[in-house]
Amino acid sequence: MTAGLKLVCHDCGSTNRVPPEKLGAAPKCGTCGAKLTDGKVRDIDFRTMEKSAKSDDLPLLVDFWAAWCGPCRMMAPQFAQAAKALAPHARLAKVDTQSNPDATVRYNIRGIPLLILFHKGREVARLTGARPAADIEAFVRQNVTLGA
Ligand SMILES: [Zn+2]
């Protein structure tokens, strides 16, 4: 077995392996060159999200949102701030439920914004409603053990 943490690139969807000690050293995707743990929130499609949620070795927090949803737009800067605070030990991404209706069905989403935390291939916890950055960060820290 190859050593390293599995991480799906949120730009191109390919799977990378990153040595744990390189997590904080701006590792890049071997396929497209995008940074894997830069703490920036990317808008990803449902397929990439599913792949990332199932195979990543780092926790993944997904913000299910839509452009018509006022609270979702209000929360975006808070979510981005939490992503920076949690990098490189957890990754945050967004899925637009309007262009990815499969996500709504698959996760039985009844209202947005909805945050779902995934780790080790499964759903760990959910948080509904718009939240400040500190709450988002605390939610992740309470539900998964992050690297030092
Ligand atoms: Zn890539």
Q: In this structure, is residue 10 part of a structural domain?
A: no
Q: Is the pLDDT of residue 1 over 80?
A: no
- How remote is the CA of residue 110 from the centroid of ligand 1, in Å? 31
Q: Residue 131 belongs to what domain range?
A: 39-143
- How remote is the CA of residue 33 from the centroid of ligand 1, in Å? 6
What positions carry a catalytic annotation?
Answer: 69, 72
CB atoms within 10 A of CB 113: 24
Residue 148: its pLDDT value, please? 59
Give 17-73 pLDDT, tens digit per residue: 999 999 999 999 999 999 999 999 999 999 999 999 999 999 999 999 999 999 999
Q: How many domains does the chain have?
A: 1
Band of residue 2 on the pLDDT scale cut at 50, 70, 90? low
- How remote is the CA of residue 129 from the centroid of ligand 1, in Å? 31
Q: What is the mean pLDDT of residues 130-140?
A: 98
From CA 137, how far away is CA 81, in angstroms rounded?
Answer: 9
pTM to 2 decimal places: 0.96
Q: In this structure, is residue 106 part of a structural domain?
A: yes
Give 62-112 pLDDT, tens digit per residue: 999 999 999 999 999 999 999 999 999 999 999 999 999 999 999 999 999
The total number of residues shown for the chain amounts to 148
Residue 147: its pLDDT value, please? 77
- How remote is the CA of residue 107 from the centroid of ligand 1, in Å? 26
Q: In this structure, is residue 68 part of a structural domain?
A: yes
- How remote is the CA of residue 70 from the centroid of ligand 1, in Å? 31
Report the CATH number that the domain containing residue 56 is assigned in CATH. Answer: 3.40.30.10
Measured in whole angstroms, the distance separating CA 128 from the mean position of its chain's CA atoms is 15
Q: Is the pLDDT of residue 120 over 90?
A: yes
User: What is residue 39's three-state secondary structure?
Assistant: coil
Q: What is the mean pLDDT of residues 114-130?
A: 97
Q: In this structure, is residue 18 part of a structural domain?
A: no
Concatenate the DSSP letters of all residues of 7-61 into one string.
Answer: EE-TTT--EEEE-GGGTTS--B-TTT--BSSSS--EE--HHHHHHHHHH-SS-EE
Longest CA pairwise span in the chain (Å) = 46
From CA 134, how far away is CA 117, in angstroms rounded?
Answer: 16
